[in-house]
């Protein structure tokens, strides 16, 4: 059994959660669930990034204190992720002075002791939307490409992290064939190495209190507040109590560490973060899993255009069941941009969930019910594509694994049409129905990481429980004590 520490980017607390947050958390949850099913010990952390200029300004606009704003936002995220069946173990908030701040202050001290921090006057272009300084090469026609507005020109005295000192070490780390920091997909790794070819510049790590008062104070410098990178990135360590008397170093030092993030913050996680860790004497993570963006009907979601998709509305469309949305998002290849369409998710609901998966379960159980629900002992070997499925899941090719599962459901439906079990003599019929029930059992197991609620209901109707791990469950006929199936119930009702 391996130990796994899995994290997502922490979500910025200036507004309610959107579909980008959903896309990331579902991806990470599929990953966490698969790791647990294959027998790994998993610690899965998500959380909130609650400091910074955007929060400070948004709170002022609403006549709130920043603390009141983030305390209002945090439950919105927690509740949404609970509705999505995101199986995180921990939820960290950067405004937590007991759980987060001690690690951040200690890390700052380690960076200072390593000679990696320097105070200097700085003049640059600051995007409050990105919460970062931009260079001319970051802009498109003088605008921030992500927020479509010109950055502010700012002159101030800040502490800088001397990232340029780590250029050679970062190249070696990212290019290593073994024991390095792997970026998935490979295209993102190539982009990151190209940034190294352009040369790294030092990074602003603080801002004057006059500009940013809502954040972690810089140790020993009361006039400065830590900027986003030392504060927010450090959540991956503070969640484990690093540099405190509650350290859980085993989930970093003796684990595989995977960060799941969006492509817009790749370079910060791929370059700044491992450089900080190196300077502090902490090993680099093992991998960075990078997802793309989500558009709507081929266009970026925008309140002006009127195509913003609210996660809660999608859940409500399907009676609160998160599995149609989870399945939809899981079909987007890791690293690629995805597009949301109400028509396509409706087609997926009817075509895959209702007509392939739900119909298969109902057909098999209805025929079994006519035979008293009896599951006769299985003979021979079944043709279940577990090897291909496992290979895809272990390679983070979740959309491919999902295709394998859906194709397996198709094959079972085709088998029913071909063999016509209802027309067979009683003995042959019962044997064929036992084979079909076993097919549905294996399908349910394959669906557990993607649509756990549906997979659990399928297993319950089969008369089985949800296994904690897959080893021992994926052999053909593994459930030797399985003698009877339950009554069929409709998994997915027609949409109104």
How crowded is residue 377: how many other Cβ atoms within 10 Å of its Cβ? 10
For residue 309, the 8-state DSSP code is P
| Residue 303 known to be catalytic | yes
How far is it, in rounded angstroms, from Cα 174 to Cα 158?
Answer: 29
* Residue from 177, 178, 303, 381 carrying the catalytic annotation: 303
> Residue with structure tokens 């997502």?
8
- Of the candidates 300, 370, 420, 483, the residue annotated as catalytic is 300
> Does the annotation mark 259 as catalytic?
no
Taking CA atoms, 111 is separated from 138, 236, 274, in Å, by 27, 16, 12
From the candidates 31, 100, 144, 166, give the one annotated as an active-site residue. Answer: 144
Q: Which of 147, 172, 420, 483 is catalytic?
A: 147
Rounded to whole angstroms, the Cα distance separating 347 from 359 reads 15
Q: Annotated catalytic residue: which of 31, 88, 100, 127?
A: 127
Q: Which class for 420: exposed (0-12), middle (13-18), buried (19 or more C-beta within 10 A)?
A: exposed
Of 434, 450, 430, 429, nearest in space to 357 by CA: 450
Of 25, 54, 130, 230, catalytic: 130
Q: Does 21 participate in catalysis according to the annotation?
A: yes
Specify whether 144 is catalytic. yes
| H helical segments located in 247-371 | 250-253, 266-267, 273-279, 311-317, 323-330, 342-348, 359-370
Establish whether 296 is a catalytic residue: no
What is the rounded distance in angstroms from the CA atom of residue 256 to the CA atom of residue 28? 14
- Asked whether the beta carbons of 259 and 288 are under 8 A apart, the reply is yes
Catalytic residue among 21, 25, 54, 259, which? 21
d(CA 272, CA 59): 29
At residue 374, φ and ψ (nearest 5 deg) are -75, 135
- Mark whether 130 is an active-site residue: yes
- Backbone phi, psi, residue 203, to 5°: -120, 130
How far apart (Å, rounded) are the C-alpha atoms in residues 488 and 496? 22
* Residue 452 per-residue DSSP state: H
Helix (H) or strand (E) holding 430: helix 426-447
Catalytic residue set: 18, 21, 127, 130, 144, 147, 300, 303
């Amino acid at each position: 059994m391996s130990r796994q520490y899995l994290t997502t980017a922490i979500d910025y607390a200036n507004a309610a959660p959107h579909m980008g947050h959903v896309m990331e958390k579902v991806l990470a949850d599929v990953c966490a669930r698969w790791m647990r099913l294959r027998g790994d010990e998993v610690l899965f952390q998500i959380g909130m990034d609650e400091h910074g200029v955007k929060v400070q300004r948004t709170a002022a606009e609403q006549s709130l204190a920043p603390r009141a704003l983030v305390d209002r936002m945090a439950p919105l995220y927690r509740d949404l992720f609970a509705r999505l069946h995101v199986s995180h173990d921990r939820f960290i908030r950067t405004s937590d002075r007991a759980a987060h701040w001690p690690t951040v202050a200690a890390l700052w001290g380690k960076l200072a002791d390593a000679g990696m921090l320097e105070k200097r006057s700085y003049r640059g272009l600051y995007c409050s939307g990105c919460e970062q300084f931009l260079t001319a090469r970051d802009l498109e026609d003088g605008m921030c490409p992500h927020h479509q507005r010109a950055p502010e020109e700012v002159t101030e005295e800040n502490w800088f992290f001397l990232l340029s000192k780590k250029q050679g070490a970062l190249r070696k780390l990212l290019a290593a064939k073994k024991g390095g920091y792997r970026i998935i997909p490979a295209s993102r790794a190539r982009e990151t190495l190209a940034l190294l070819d352009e040369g790294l510049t030092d990074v602003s790590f603080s801002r004057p209190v006059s500009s940013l008062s809502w954040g972690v104070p810089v140790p020993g410098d009361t006039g400065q507040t830590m900027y986003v990178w030392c504060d927010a990135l450090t959540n991956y360590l503070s969640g484990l109590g690093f540099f405190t008397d509650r350290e859980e170093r085993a989930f970093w030092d003796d684990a595989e560490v995977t960060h799941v993030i969006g492509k817009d913050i790749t370079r910060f996680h791929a370059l700044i973060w491992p450089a900080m860790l190196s300077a502090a004497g902490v090993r680099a993570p093992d991998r960075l899993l990078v997802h793309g963006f989500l558009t709507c009907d081929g266009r970026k979601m925008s309140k002006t255009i009127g195509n913003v998709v609210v996660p809660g509305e999608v859940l409500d469309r399907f009676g609160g069941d998160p599995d149609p949305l989870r399945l939809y998002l899981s079909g987007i290849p890791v690293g690629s941009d995805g597009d949301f369409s109400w028509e396509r998710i409706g087609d997926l609901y009817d075509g895959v969930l209702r007509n392939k998966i739900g119909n298969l379960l109902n057909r098999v159980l209805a025929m079994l019910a006519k035979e008293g629900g009896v599951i006769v002992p299985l003979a021979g070997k079944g043709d279940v594509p577990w090897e291909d499925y496992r290979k895809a899941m272990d390679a983070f090719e979740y959309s491919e694994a999902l295709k394998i599962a859906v194709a397996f459901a198709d094959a079972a439906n085709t088998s029913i049409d071909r063999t016509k079990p209802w027309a067979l003599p009683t003995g042959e019929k019962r044997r064929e129905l036992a084979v079909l029930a076993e097919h549905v059992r294996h399908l349910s197991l394959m669906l557990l990481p993607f649509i756990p609620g549906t997979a659990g209901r399928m297993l319950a109707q089969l008369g089985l429980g949800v296994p904690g791990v897959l080893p021992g469950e994926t052999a053909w006929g593994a459930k030797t004590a399985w003698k009877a199936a339950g009554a069929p119930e409709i998994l997915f009702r027609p949409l109104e």
